[in-house]
């Protein structure tokens, strides 16, 4: 039986493990944690104070026949098919890396101090709760949300955070006493121009000051000021900063397989690690020119499961990021390698879909609702939506 070793029981790793036939493959899944977290809900913990239980034990999310090992991978030698952990050594016939990405505040001077005090909504339940405690104590002054570097989990999430904060302050009678500032390294609040045509007017209407081309260089917690490489500075009372993202701190014997931010270089159609036929990188840990999102990790996992099974399958770059626009409305950011983002208008139903995902998610990991996703992805193909909107504009 061929040995399939999967590192990382995130959305990508779990879906891949559950997609493989355990009568044909000896599947081992390794994670340093014993829990899996539904990360999109960090938003509602940080900005609404939600206490929803968004974690489940990893061994409760895998089908029988898969071996789960709670170990931390420290070294990978792709030439010799060898993986070292804090507890053991492993070999494989196929390796799949799905180690995600983590915000790393240490790369920006001053940011660790801010992170320790204010938390963030991109890393853990503890940090999301920490941020909520600060938001709920905030009564007036300048609240600043900064996306510290262009790469972050879920491209809509910086704007979502800002819009949810505005809704919270507005509904709690604090808006008049508050200045809201959103700063991004991109030339516009939402990086993809067609979606920005929807997003920017909404942010302006809600009284949010927008600062673009803001590449965060440092933060001075003593004087409460955030500085950019471009020479701009923003004074704050409440800093909400999304730290830069980096790949896992694993020692790769073949150092050339990772880029400067530790993301794994992989083929954009097959997710094969460049130079290797037996090793793949799926989800947030790879350097593919697509969004870092759970949906993307899901689709890539399915393609890799097919490839291992001998099928001719390719990832088309499809993204489908749910986008909470606050006040009960939402949309999706939809595109693929061959089609730009569709300007998909916000509706209450799309918001309902985003919120419902927190329940459906757990079935998705086991593959129970694949048919629903297949129908949804088919119905919302970018080329179909583009045609639909062109027709409605004509």
Q: Which residues bind ligand FAD (CB under 6 A)?
A: 7-13, 30-33, 39-40, 42-43, 72-73, 98-100, 121-122, 153-154, 157, 248, 250, 283-285, 292-295, 297, 321-322
Measured from the CB of residue 222, what is the shortest distance to ligand FAD in angstroms? 29
* Gyration radius (Cα) of the chain, Å: 21
Q: Which residues pair with 280 in a beta bridge?
A: 96, 272
Smaller CB distance to ligand FAD: residue 4 or 227? 4
- Closest distance to ligand FAD from the beta carbon of 41 (Å): 8
**Shortest CB 371 distance to ligand FAD, Å:** 19
Helices vs. strands in the chain: H and E counts, helices first: 10, 22
Tokens of 21: 């036939």
Cβ-based nearer residue to ligand FAD, 73 or 181 = 73
Closest CA to 58 of 92, 7, 21, 95: 7
Cβ(51)–Cβ(132) below 8 Å: no
Name the residue among 268, 11, 19, 34 with its Cα closest to residue 154: 11
Q: Which is nearer to ligand FAD, 11 or 189 (CB)?
A: 11
Cβ distance to ligand FAD smaller for residue 32 or 188: 32
Q: What residue number has its CB nearest to ligand FAD? A: 10
Closer Cβ to ligand FAD, 33 or 112, answer by number: 33
**Nearest distance from C-beta of residue 129 to ligand FAD, angstroms:** 14
- Cβ at position 393, least distance to ligand FAD in Å: 28
Q: Beta-carbon neighbour count of residue 249 at 10 Å?
A: 12
- To ligand FAD, the closest distance from the beta carbon of 392 in angstroms equals 26
Nearer to ligand FAD, 81 or 246 (CB): 246
Contact between 283 and 290 (Cβ < 8 Å): no
Helix H or strand E segment including 365: helix 348-366
Q: Which is it for strands 225-228 and 216-220: parallel, antiparallel or unpaired?
A: antiparallel
């Amino acid at each position: 039986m061929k040995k399939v070793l999967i590192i990382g029981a995130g959305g990508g790793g779990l879906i891949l493990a559950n997609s493989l036939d355990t009568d044909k493959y000896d599947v081992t899944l390794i994670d340093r944690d014993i829990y899996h977290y539904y990360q999109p809900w960090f938003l509602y913990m940080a900005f609404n104070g939600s206490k929803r239980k968004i974690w489940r034990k990893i061994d409760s999310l895998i089908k029988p026949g898969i071996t789960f090992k709670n170990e931390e991978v420290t070294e990978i030698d792709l030439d010799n098919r060898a993986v070292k952990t804090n507890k053991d050594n492993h070999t494989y016939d196929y390796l799949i890396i799905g180690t995600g990405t983590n915000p790393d505040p240490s790369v920006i001077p001053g940011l660790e101090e801010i992170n320790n005090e204010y938390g963030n909504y991109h890393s853990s339940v503890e940090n999301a709760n920490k941020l909520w405690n600060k938001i709920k104590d905030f009564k007036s002054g300048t609240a600043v949300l900064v996306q510290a570097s262009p790469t972050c989990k879920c491209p809509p999430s910086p704007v979502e955070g800002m819009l949810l904060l505005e809704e919270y302050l507005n509904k709690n009678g604090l808006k008049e006493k508050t200045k809201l500032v959103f700063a991004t390294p991109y030339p516009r609040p939402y990086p993809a121009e067609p979606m920005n045509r929807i997003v920017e007017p909404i942010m302006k209407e809600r009284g949010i000051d927008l600062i673009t081309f803001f590449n965060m260089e440092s933060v001075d917690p003593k004087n409460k000021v955030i500085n950019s490489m471009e020479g701009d500075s923003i004074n704050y009372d409440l800093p909400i900063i999304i730290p830069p993202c980096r790949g896992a701190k694993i020692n790769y014997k073949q150092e050339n397989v990772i880029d400067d931010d530790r993301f794994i270089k992989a083929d954009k159609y097959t997710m094969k690690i460049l130079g290797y036929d037996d090793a793949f990188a799926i989800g947030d840990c790879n350097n593919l020119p697509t969004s870092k999102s759970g949906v993307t990790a899901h689709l890539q996992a399915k393609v890799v499961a097919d490839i291992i099974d001998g099928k001719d399958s390719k990832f088309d770059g499809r993204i489908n990021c749910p986008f909470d626009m606050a006040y009960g409305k939402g949309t999706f950011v939809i595109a693929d390698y061959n089609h730009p983002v569709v300007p998909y208008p916000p509706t209450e139903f799309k918001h309902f879909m985003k919120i419902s995902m927190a329940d459906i998610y757990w079935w998705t990991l086991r593959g129970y609702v694949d048919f629903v996703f297949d129908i949804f992805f088919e119905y919302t193909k970018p080329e179909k939506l583009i045609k639909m909107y062109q027709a409605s504009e004509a």
